[in-house]
Structure 1
Amino acid sequence: MERVYHPEPFDDDRVEVTGPEAHHLTRVRRVAPGEGVELFNGLGDVVRGRVDRSDRHRVEILIQCRIAPRPEPSAQIALATAVPKGDRFDWLIEKATELGVHRVIPLRTQRSVVDPRTTKLDRLRRLVIEACKQSGRDRLLHIEPMLSWPDLLATYTEGVRLIAHPGGEAIGRCGTIATVILAIGPEGGFSDEEVEQGQELGWKTINLGPNILRIETAGLAASAALLALNLS
């Protein structure tokens, strides 16, 4: 069944879908009147219905029933990560959405070389929608505005806060965690000064094994490990 993103409450028995979602339904997927669809609003509300009328710019869907949203991971992970070069950030966002990461915070550090523009972040939010449609996730991953390392430290002052850094504690020792913010540095890693700043404010360093990982690999591997700990 085709999944459709509709960022509005499902208050009526009829929904009108326009814009990119209508184009995708009618021109790409060729969904015709009478066919069933599933709609989600990214906030956990999910309904099923059938296409009543459509053209290339608009699709009217008659809601037939509400369904329970799929459960989210028990651990809420905020992934604060330096931005990798090229399209590797796209891949990170897509896979973080599939895994169930709660939100991503682009991070500017002393050694950062990529500073994405607002237009790129807006495009990435569209990528989140597509990843949710593909994976069956009913709540959108949130992409926050970029923060510098000092601003991140000033913003997140409580709870479990982790820095991926060689020599830190094994990530498997973190145990069950309800909420966590996980910081991933740029190519070359965090500077010693940045790590010390974090540790002085209660951040704990964790290591991700003996090999040097790319930014996106480190972020996803650490997120997956933390989520797995909460499944055991």
Structure 2
Amino acid sequence: MRVRLYVPEAENNKEVAISKEQVRHLKVLRVKEGDKIGIFDGKGHEFEATYSGKVSDKLLLERPIRLREEPRVKITLAIAVPKGARMDVLVEKVSEIGVSNIVPIICSRSVVEPREAKVERWRKIAIEACSQCERSIVPTISEPIKFAELLSTIKQYNHVFVCHMTGTPLTKEHCECPSIMLIVGPEGDFTPAELDAAKEAGCTMVSLGPTILRTETAGIVAIGQIVGLSQKAYK
């Protein structure tokens, strides 16, 4: 597997600086002189560079690399933040699967209201996950917003689904569109008022299966189902 580094300013045929941490990373991986390295910008571009073997923080980007295919539908996951390190796991896994955006939301029954340091940590986890899985687009992770504020933004999506036991299963017809938002509530569920507000705003209730899932499990399963169904929908 090719060693890959995230450099947001990467451009073809240009020399780019890498961080001291990335230089140390190359040493730990025992990258040798002449070895090829992938440099990706997180926006869908990746380039090849040759490691000189010198203690340097500069690399010349030599040529573009053919990228892995992205999901056909852009998926935004709006999710109530679970306790402990479970959000870390969710960010890692949905970044690998193909989410485009992650929006932490604060609901009436939320138990966690993340601070800025947490959001920055999740952004780093997303970069690391994309580097490992050879994905060249890093999902954006926004600042937390209130559930009511989230509902005011949903008109920009073709479909908005609330993951809930009262819904019906997702189908490939749900995925025949350019953009989808999936909304996952807190461990204590949405309040009846929140569910009513979501329906009134135009959201569709969807079920992820017969069992009750933890918040982070529901988020991972939902993204996986949409990616799988969207591939079938366009074949």
Same fold judged by TM-score > 0.5?
Answer: yes
Structure 2 partner of 1:179: 179
Residue 219 of structure 2: SS of its match in structure 1?
A: helix
Find the aligned partners of 2:160 and 2:136 in 1 and give their Cα distance. Answer: 26
Find the aligned partners of 1:7 and 1:91 in 2 and give their Cα distance. Answer: 24
| 1:36–1:163 distance in 2 versus 1, CA, 3 Å | same
Superposed displacement of residue 229, structure 1: 1.2
Superposed displacement of residue 12, structure 1: 3.8
Superposed displacement of residue 60, structure 1: 2.6
- Higher strand content, 1 or 2: 1
Residue 231 of structure 1: SS of its match in structure 2?
A: helix
Structure 2 partner of 1:164: 163
- Aligned letter for 2:64? R
RMSD of aligned Cα (Å): 1.6
Structure 1 partner of 2:192: 192
- Aligned letter for 1:170? P
Find the aligned partners of 1:200 and 1:119 in 2 and give their Cα distance. Answer: 34
Unaligned residue ranges in structure 1 (runs of 5+): none
- Aligned letter for 2:95? T
Find the aligned partners of 1:174 and 1:45 in 2 and give their Cα distance. Answer: 29
Match of 1:117 among 115, 118, 134: 115
Alignment of 1:35-50 (within 5 A): 35-50=35-50
Superposed displacement of residue 110, structure 1: 0.5
Deviations 1:112-143 (A, max 9, x none): 00111111110111111110111000010110
Structure 2 partner of 1:92: 90
Superposed displacement of residue 53, structure 1: 4.9
Unaligned residue ranges in structure 2 (runs of 5+): none
Match of 2:136 among 128, 135, 138: 138
Deviations 1:3-30 (A, max 9, x none): 111110315443331232222112x213
- Aligned letter for 1:24? H
Residue 174 of structure 1: SS of its match in structure 2?
A: helix
User: Taking structure 1 as the reference length, what is the TM-score of the superposition?
Assistant: 0.93
Aligned length: 229
Alignment of 1:195-214 (within 5 A): 195-214=195-214
Deviations 1:76-132 (A, max 9, x none): 110000111111100000000000011110010010001111111101111111101
Q: Is the 8 A contact 1:167 1:207 kept in 2?
A: yes
User: Taking structure 2 as the reference length, what is the TM-score of the superposition?
Assistant: 0.92
Deviations 1:21-67 (A, max 9, x none): 222112x2132332211111111111112112532xx4332333212
Structure 1 partner of 2:78: 80
| 1:99–1:73 distance in 2 versus 1, CA, 3 Å | same
Q: Is the 8 A contact 1:54 1:60 kept in 2?
A: no
Q: Is the 8 A contact 1:53 1:60 kept in 2?
A: no
